[in-house]
Structures are given as C-alpha cells and as structure tokens.
C-alpha cells in the first residue's frame, strides 16, 4: 500500500512539474516574465584568521567584485598576538644563545 501511495505521489509531482514548465515556456513562443527579488539568507564568507569585525565595507545585497574588500578585522587583537609571538621568539633566541655558550 505504501509503495502504491509513493508511486501516485511521484506521478503527481512529475505532472505538476511538467505543467509548471509548460506555463513558463508556452508553446506559442510567449514566455512568462516574473519580477521580484531572490532572498539569499546564507553566504559562506570568512577571514583567514579569527577576530572581531571592525568594519563592513559593503551593504547587504550589494554587488561585489572579485578581490573587493568586504570587511576588516580589529587590528588590536592581531597586534597583541603578534607582540606575544615576538616575545616568545625573543625568549627562545635568548635560551638558544645560552645553550650555545655552554657552561
């Protein structure tokens, strides 16, 4: 019984899809023109490093070009991480110098 119901539903879906295509592309050559907006809710964008967003350069829905700046991260957190990494490097270099000098 379930297979029969699924089969009937599939036939109805295909029939409705065909009817919809026929309405959009009528045999007399006249096409149906629809106007409106397509609303896209998700976009996969991101920064290469994590951080707080400082500014967004474009508004939602604006056209953008490849390579165009879309946003900017707050540089304070990145600068703090850079200073920490430089301190760690300096400490490692000092330790290396002590090890090379020997006792």
Tell me the per-residue pLDDT of 21-65, one tens digit each, with 9 for 90 and over: 767 766 566 666 677 777 666 666 677 777 788 888 888 778 888
pLDDT at 6: 84
Same domain, 13 and 61: no
63 and 94 co-located in one domain: yes
Half-sphere exposure of 20 (CA within 13 A, CB side): 6
CA dist 87 and 99 (Å) reads: 18
> What is the structure's pLDDT at 40?
66
Domain-located, residue 45: no
Regarding whether 57 and 97 lie in a shared domain, the answer is yes
Per-residue model confidence (pLDDT) at position 52? 80
> Would 101 be classed as within a structural domain?
yes
The predicted pLDDT at position 31 comes to 63
What span, in angstroms and rounded, lies between the C-alpha atoms of 43 and 56?
14
Res. 86 pLDDT band, cuts 50 70 90:
very high
Q: What's the pTM? A: 0.38
Within-domain flag for 46: no
Q: Is 25 helix (H, G, I), strand (E, B) or coil?
A: strand
Q: Which structural domain, as residue segments, surrounds residue 19? A: 1-32
Q: Is residue 8 part of a domain?
A: yes
Three-state SS string across 40-56, please? CCCCCCCCCCCCCEEEE
Give a yes or no: residue 81 inside a domain.
yes
- Cβ contacts of 74 within 8 Å, gap of 6 or more: 51, 52, 53, 54
């Amino acid at each position: 019984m379930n297979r029969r119901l699924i089969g009937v539903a599939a036939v109805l879906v295909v029939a409705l899809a065909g009817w919809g295509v026929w309405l959009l592309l009528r045999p007399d050559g006249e096409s149906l023109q629809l106007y409106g907006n397509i609303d896209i809710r998700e976009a996969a964008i991101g920064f290469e490093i994590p951080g707080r967003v400082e500014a967004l350069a474009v508004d939602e829905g604006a056209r953008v070009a490849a390579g165009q700046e879309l946003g900017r991260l707050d540089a304070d957190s990145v600068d703090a991480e850079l200073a920490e990494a430089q301190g760690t490097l300096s400490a490692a270099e000092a330790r290396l110098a002590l090890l090379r000098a020997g006792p």
